[in-house]
Amino acid sequence: MAKSLGPVKRKFSPWTDPSAVPFIRFENITKRFGDFTAVDNLTLDIYEREFFSLLGPSGCGKTTLMRMLAGFEEPTEGRILLQGKDISGVPPYRRPTNMMFQSYALFPHMTVEKNIAFGLEQDNLPKGEITTRVEEMLKLVKLEQFAKRKPNQLSGGQRQRVALARSLAKRPKVLLLDEPLGALDKKLREETQFELMDLQTKLGLTFLIVTHDQEEAMTVSDRIAVMDKGLIMQVATPAEIYEAPNSRYVADFIGDINILEGTVASTGSALGAPGTVRIDCEGIAVSVEQECQAVVGDKVAFAVRPEKVRISPDQPADTSVNAVYGEVWDIGYLGDFSVFLVKLADGRVVRAAQANVSRLVDRPITFGDMVWLTWPLDAGLVLTR
């Protein structure tokens, strides 16, 4: 193991420890609404103190899964274990989970203070302790001077903070966040993502977040489950999901990627062993160095992220493999990056992204230029699913 995938956020990986006991376990969960299967025989383990994301397009069943954990829906089949105990049939008001709602669901007739105190009052805590905890929470989300305001007198960002404070006030074992930052603008959202991560580490809670925003999931999570049509496609760390997606679906859902369909021409080693796989992608010869999961003749997809593709007007030394030639067809300027869409002779389009590292370029590549795209052996992926 000389190389690893991407940066490591923190030394925390209980899922690699076979003796670790999962904090939350979804066991063969199926949920049907009439004829529609929202969640399909799904099994998933989440560990204590983990920041876990459920990521997928709308309608993939991620929210249903979370609502089953909160107790708003009961699974049709299977069971949910929390710290080893089956929580089926336990009503939401007796579960040690708290949820931050997508719409925030703040009580409009109560002040910020009262909203935050609501959960604590249900536990019949002494008045003094409630006051202390509410103050603590207000300080945590920096809303001390807004304690007496009603929700409709707050901005969107402030409301979101109140919702967070309210769901944290009871110090739940698991905090569920349903698209928590959807309503915020990009800057505020990024700020809040880092604050959430900070909070999670500071308070040592388990966070489960539902989102359709892949950037958000990548930023905050220890692990991500990518879902589609009620199924989990892949559960892995953000770096694994990005650098080693297990299927065309995951590769395509997360980030930008070039996918070329092809056939395995040769494998450098036996199935499962590291080696060089050669693929013929309808005229483009591609070589990939990775553990081989296919045999000669298999229909596979070759995938490579645009930022790993080099673009140059100069012909590379070796054009026989991992190199294509085409015309710049469109350029997307994103500020930090430029994305070039290069049209090959046969009409296929390959994207290459280039970091704009200097402000002035000697010889800028522009529309209509003929360019070479190349990528190293370890840049691409073979996708068998």
Q: Footprint of other proteins on residues 300-339 (CB under 8 A)?
A: none
Nearest distance, CB of residue 226 and other proteins, angstroms: 26
Q: Which of residues 119 and 326 has its CB atom nearest to other proteins in the complex?
A: 119
Nearest distance, CB of residue 109 and other proteins, angstroms: 5
- Report the distance separating Cα 80 and Cα 67, nearest Å: 12
Using the rule CB under 8 A, which residue among 28, 43, 57, 107 binds other proteins? Answer: 107
Using the rule CB under 8 A, which residue among 3, 10, 93, 364 binds other proteins? Answer: 93
Considering the rule CB under 8 A, would residue 91 count as an interface residue with other proteins?
Answer: yes
Nearest distance, CB of residue 38 and other proteins, angstroms: 17
Using the rule CB under 8 A, which residue among 28, 41, 88, 122 binds other proteins? Answer: 122
Nearest distance, CB of residue 221 and other proteins, angstroms: 22
Considering the rule CB under 8 A, would residue 214 count as an interface residue with other proteins?
Answer: no
Nearest distance, CB of residue 194 and other proteins, angstroms: 26
- For 233, list phi and psi in degrees, rounded to 5: -85, -40
From residue 46, alpha-carbon distances to 24, 198, 217, 221, 254 in Å are: 5, 19, 15, 12, 21
Token pair belonging to 161: 């903070």
Using the rule CB under 8 A, which residue among 17, 35, 123, 314 binds other proteins? Answer: 123
- For 52, list phi and psi in degrees, rounded to 5: -115, 135
- Report the distance separating Cα 85 and Cα 81, nearest Å: 5
Q: Which of residues 93 and 333 has its CB atom nearest to other proteins in the complex?
A: 93
Identify any residues that bridge with 294 across adjacent strands, giving them in sequence order: none
- Report the distance separating Cα 81 and Cα 71, nearest Å: 12
Site string for other proteins, 22-51 (x = CB under 8 A): ------------------------------
Contacts of 85 (CB under 8 A, 6+ apart): none
Range 139-159 burial, b when 16+ CB lie within 10 A, else e? ebbebeebeeebbeebeeebb
Nearest distance, CB of residue 9 and other proteins, angstroms: 29
Nearest distance, CB of residue 73 and other proteins, angstroms: 11
Using the rule CB under 8 A, which residue among 62, 166, 189, 351 binds other proteins? Answer: 166
- Report the distance separating Cα 324 and Cα 185, nearest Å: 39
Token pair belonging to 184: 């915020």
Considering the rule CB under 8 A, would residue 105 count as an interface residue with other proteins?
Answer: yes
- Report the distance separating Cα 328 and Cα 338, nearest Å: 12
Token pair belonging to 240: 């694994």
Q: Which of residues 122 and 155 has its CB atom nearest to other proteins in the complex?
A: 122
Nearest distance, CB of residue 208 and other proteins, angstroms: 13
From residue 169, alpha-carbon distances to 131, 164, 301 in Å are: 11, 9, 48
- Report the distance separating Cα 37 and Cα 230, nearest Å: 7
Using the rule CB under 8 A, which residue among 39, 54, 60, 99 binds other proteins? Answer: 99
Segment interacting with other proteins, rule: CB under 8 A, options 2-10, 115-123, 153-161, 366-374:
115-123
- Report the distance separating Cα 292 and Cα 157, nearest Å: 48
Type of residue found at 191 = E
Nearest distance, CB of residue 33 and other proteins, angstroms: 14
Q: Which of residues 118 and 337 has its CB atom nearest to other proteins in the complex?
A: 118
Q: Which of residues 70 and 239 has its CB atom nearest to other proteins in the complex?
A: 70
Per CB under 8 A, residues contacting other proteins are 70-72, 91-94, 97-99, 101, 103, 105-109, 118-119, 122-123, 166-167, 170
